[in-house]
Amino acid sequence: MISTTKAESPFIRSLPDGAVRPARALISVSDKTGLVDLANALVQFKVDILSTGGTAKLLRDKGIPVTDVSDYTGFPEMMDGRVKTLHPKVHGGLLHRRDIPAHVEQAKAHGIAAIDLVIVNLYPFEQTVAKPDVSPDEAIEQIDIGGPSMVRSAAKNWQSVAIITDSRDYPSVIAELTETGGTLSLKTRFELARRAFARTAAYDAAISAYFNGLADDAFPDTLILPLKKASDLRYGETPHQRAAFYLDATAGGDSVARAEALDGGKAMSYNNYMDADAAFETVCEFDRPAAVVVKHANPCGCAEADSIETAMTNAYDGDPMSAFGGIIALNRPLTAGVAEFLAEPGKFVEAIIAPDFDPTALDILRTKPKWKNSVRLLKTGGCRAPSGS
């Protein structure tokens, strides 16, 4: 089943069962991960499938019966695929209210069949603009028009239509269809619609951010941040608060936010991320080997030297009492020498951020100190260039 919020809102609790048995699905995806399994499940429950272009070809090659959207609409795909689903027989099939007789009669009069399930993921605009040296023409060709239109039409009519925009939801949809004999509940359709509107909003935000960048507009009239949830946090600023961590989908480069959390270590809290980011941003200001110790948002030790081992020792010795339970950041890979120093009795740190970790150093940190795997180890892959360079 698609999971709803942990604590259901009064609106969600008030929804009746309202199960719908999809009779017709429209599938048009750029990312075809897991699609064949979902399509096979639909066929099992006698769902007719409409599809477009490469998606239709894939399904047909896998022996899955499919009708091309162009055959259904009587209108060919054209303009290099820019126009294929923008048609009244598609959007009328999605948008007409099944509970309003006039809508049903108008659909029937114009040969519009109801479409009960839409499976769409959008052109990979975000992935395209994240590539170095991508041209504006390349980026613009990855702006999806028909996809978001279908997503929004289906999501607006969620009481009758299910909309799936993420392949990670395929297994739970298949499970629900199997468990119920081919139906999807009203709560599931609402949750899918909620995710669909979030997806189109994030997609448009990424496009807006890209165009603002082309205009070199650092402070646009409307600032839209396409943030994607990365993880739940242990707690917020205080232990009684709930918190989650979100990433800017358009941002790249080395950062604590995009660091690889090596195995072991507790989940991060809000305060951990604040201190880790402060430490990382500080240490990246140095060209020479440098180390920083931060605790409760305050640097309690900072040093640069000819070696990362000396820098670490000097930074820690700046205030050993405050350094206990602090967060450490390095602008060079963590070596066995640094690990031996941190593993000495009486020392404890919450997290260590470094561009990389020597395998021997990892072994030392995970076996010698009493805290062993409780420390968070964040591998950034690098350190952003110092400001002004």
Residues known to be catalytic: 156, 296
3-class DSSP assignment, residue 81: coil
CA distance linking residue 90 with residue 55, whole number of Å: 17
* Amino acid letter for position 55: T
Instruction: Kindly report the backbone phi and psi dihedral angles of residue 352, in degrees, each rounded to the nearest multiple of 5, phi listed first.
Output: -130, 130
163 strand-pairing partners: 118
Burial class of residue 82 in the structure, from the number of CB atoms within 10 Å of its CB (0-12 exposed, 13-18 middle, 19+ buried): exposed
Q: DSSP secondary-structure letter at 51?
A: E
Q: DSSP secondary-structure letter at 287?
A: S
- Kindly state the helix (H) or strand (E) to which residue 378 belongs, with its residue range: strand 376-379
Contact 364, 338 (CB under 8 A): no
- Nearest-Å Rg of the Cα atoms of the chain is 26
CA distance linking residue 92 with residue 319, whole number of Å: 69
Cα within 13 Å of Cα(199), Cβ side? 25
The dihedral region occupied by 44, where left means phi > 0, alpha psi between -120 and 50, and beta the remainder, is alpha
3-class DSSP assignment, residue 248: strand
End-to-end CA distance of the chain: 51
3-class DSSP assignment, residue 53: helix
CA distance linking residue 333 with residue 354, whole number of Å: 6
